[in-house]
Structure 1
């Protein structure tokens, strides 16, 4: 049996700590499990100092215990779980316990808190797909009214009583599949993953609040807003989109005004529309040049730069070095 302990404040640091225990060097917070423990990976990213996420996609080759230590502070944790149980799967808090027998499939969303311990045991052969998202309380206070913040906090204190109260919807399942199919060895793939997780979190929190507070008005977006934003994201993520679309055209796709689109896109994706477009195309060009798929001039042309000097300036601004240095 393998036991891994952690404190949720920083999932990136957690992956680093586990890598030392497992004696495996992570690659930019991407940890591939050693064969003695299992197959698959763990990937963590700190979005900012108040929000962090973990993606786990593994099959264990031994019984594994994940032991979460309690903190004095109350911060929220949102888990998305897909578990295909081999022999058993057990969750234990400081006051209650749940155990599932062999050949059971569990699909659930679980809201937890950092102020109580939690121990999860997966038996050998169990397959786990998990996304964990950590929210510092200050971030939750910023986006929700005081009464809703207190309700979310109280809800997280029921321990395992309502651990599978929220089922995963078809739309959320689609986003989860996209997350687990993402190529994490690719910079562009990591950006897509980051965006998908933010969309997933906003969708489930919005659904949660609609269910629990049908008359409440929060800073979260409506479901149709998120669908529109995702369509815009797809457009701006096209590999060879040579020209930035007009705001008017993007607004028609998103079914919202240009002013609202610019505001909501920045809130959800953390970048302005053009900034997101430019970031994506430059990362794609970098990947082409590094792999030898194109030379510098061809890469610049494919992403819409007619002037090589302008491409080099934009490239250096994004990465801190010239594209010619990749070839050297």
Structure 2
């Protein structure tokens, strides 16, 4: 295909911009993925909405080039569907919407919190609850009439606990206290030190503080936590149990707010921590949900979340079910699966 082709594509530019990674896909109106690209995390709360959105341009250019298109002054495609992390408050959504609309990417555009993308990826229609547990943690609920259940999701300031970043920090907290005698013994101390090739977690903390170990590498502690828990460590297991409790609490509160507890309702689980499908976490969440919301129908989405953004875009184009299924088939290896 000629990579200098400049004709506008009838379709969707789907963007899923998370805390740790960003995926972009250019999808035709027929549901065919024509181009895609992946980049780093999306941090508008640090950089500002305009700078963060402008930083997506190389990914959009790469996806367009794969589709045989290039960015010009006119809209690249019909609609931009952007599901963005840190679009938590209305003022943040508005700023991001304005920044997306200012780009020459689509004739129209819509911005939603990235948890809505997860919800759409795991459901066939606009009804359900989704909990994302990736780098952070969040939950949304949606009814067909447009009513939603939302959480501010600003971290500890708004009562949030866990996610990959939270679990890593808690693991370091307990490991260092075990080493210096303030806390209970835990295998987390030796395991974290060994992972980073340092003598103890005090040295790990020092290396992070002095930036000899990048802060982004903290997420590497999460698999260590699960491995130590699987070996029977009580402290590690308590952290995972608390994470399961938090995930369930979010889902049950959202179901309650939308009066869905008495109705069979999809509860979509996703994000890196949940998509890893570790039995210690998943089995715990499923047992808690069965007790607290027996009509909930949990399902784990391991497909790339950009699928949800693209499906929302196809919804905007009033695409028929067959087109949506064609798009889902492009991610067949990572379909939503029943929990």
What TM bracket, shorter-length normalisation?
A: under 0.3
Which has the bigger relative contact order, CA under 8 A and spacing at least 6? 2
Instruction: Give the structure-2-normalised TM-score.
Output: 0.27
